Amino acid sequence: MSLPAGSTSFPLAGSIVVRSAYGPVYVIPPTLKPRRIGGAQVLPTARPDAVWIIGGRRNRAIMVTGSGRRIAGPVPGLPDSRRYPVGLAVRGGLVVAPVYDDTGPLSQLTGLWLWNPPRGPALRPVVRGCSMALAAHGTLLAWLRCYPNDPGRVSLRITDTATGATRAVANPRGAVPFLAEQPAAAFSPNGRWLVGYYAGATTGGYGYGLGLVNTRTGAARIIRGAPVPDATVGTPIMWTGDSTRVFFATGASDPDDNNPWADGTVPLATYRIGARSADDVRLHETGATLLGVLPVPGG
């Protein structure tokens, strides 16, 4: 299955939520029999068993389970949703940030806010200034601090949105977190690890690679054997439910890419926590897309 640009997919209580560009919303369970649950924009919630579906002529938001059962709403959506798209959920609401046009100045990034749909359209500030959200888990929000007067300078931060406490993560030597067109990082389900894209000379020749962050200590390192030809579009990163292994796209789906892997046609790779390096997944299929990681039924 290949999804076009603008598509959405993320885990939902042992299943996967998929929306192809502007199409309907489906839940794909381990049986691989898709079930339609809506027909508008879909966003995660802090609950593992529910999603927000936002849209329609009246721009309403409802929270539904994977079976399509409504458990909250309808409530009004944001009146300026095109300017402030949402895509990350923390306990207490949805992260809202201004649209970023990568042809414009970084100064257009002016902060991150929290929107709690049942409480109306009011936004609560979480981060001020030039910033971009990367990933969320529980009350934690990973984001990049950017500097309009020094575009090459970027630093990774992790903020507890409930308390405001923020940890700065030191960059691995020779590498910096990468500011992609869309969020390109993922917390492990237990919240202990964060994996995100880095650019620099430590990724196997200058280019892109994956960095692993210990959220308890703030220590970060580059994962060996995990080069990625092009992280500019934010290729997917997804964890197994036990937080021991992460899967990611290598970029080899595009035959025009100069993929640095030994097997240049392998579109997916994986890294196990504690291993010395990442391994490619021996799948050979042009246009393969990483949708999610599901547990084996019955095992």
pLDDT in tens, 246-290: 988 765 544 444 444 444 556 678 899 999 888 877 766 656 666
Quick count: other Cβ atoms within 10 Å of Cβ 299?
4
Give 211-247 pLDDT, tens digit per residue: 899 998 999 998 887 666 555 555 678 898 899 999 8
In this prediction, residues 8-30 reach a mean pLDDT of 79
| CA 228/CA 73 separation, integer angstroms | 41
| CA 227/CA 209 separation, integer angstroms | 5
In this prediction, residues 125-151 reach a mean pLDDT of 86
Average model confidence (pLDDT) for the chain?
77
| CA 17/CA 29 separation, integer angstroms | 9
| CA 127/CA 229 separation, integer angstroms | 31
State the amino acid at position 130 in one-letter form: C
Residue with tokens 């919303």: 25
Q: Report pLDDT for 193.
A: 96
> At residue 168, does pLDDT exceed 80?
yes
pLDDT-above-90 percentage for the chain: 13
Residue 285 φ then ψ, to 5°: -155, 120
| Structure tokens, 183 | 């969020």
Q: Report pLDDT for 291.
A: 62
Helices (H), the chain: none
| Structure tokens, 205 | 């020749």
Q: Report pLDDT for 188.
A: 93
List the one residue out of 239, 227, 145 whose CA is nearest residue 193: 239
Under DSSP, the state recorded for 202 is: G
| CA 296/CA 299 separation, integer angstroms | 5
> At residue 35, does pLDDT exceed 80?
yes
**Every domain of the chain and the residues it spans:** 1-77, 92-169, 171-299
Band of pLDDT at residue 70, cut at 50, 70 and 90: very high
Q: Report pLDDT for 212.
A: 94
Residue with tokens 């936002």: 54
Band of pLDDT at residue 195, cut at 50, 70 and 90: very high
State the amino acid at position 195 in one-letter form: V
Give 170-185 pLDDT, tens digit per residue: 988 888 887 665 557 8
| CA 74/CA 62 separation, integer angstroms | 5
Is the distance from CB of 211 to CB of 224 less than 8 angstroms? Answer: no
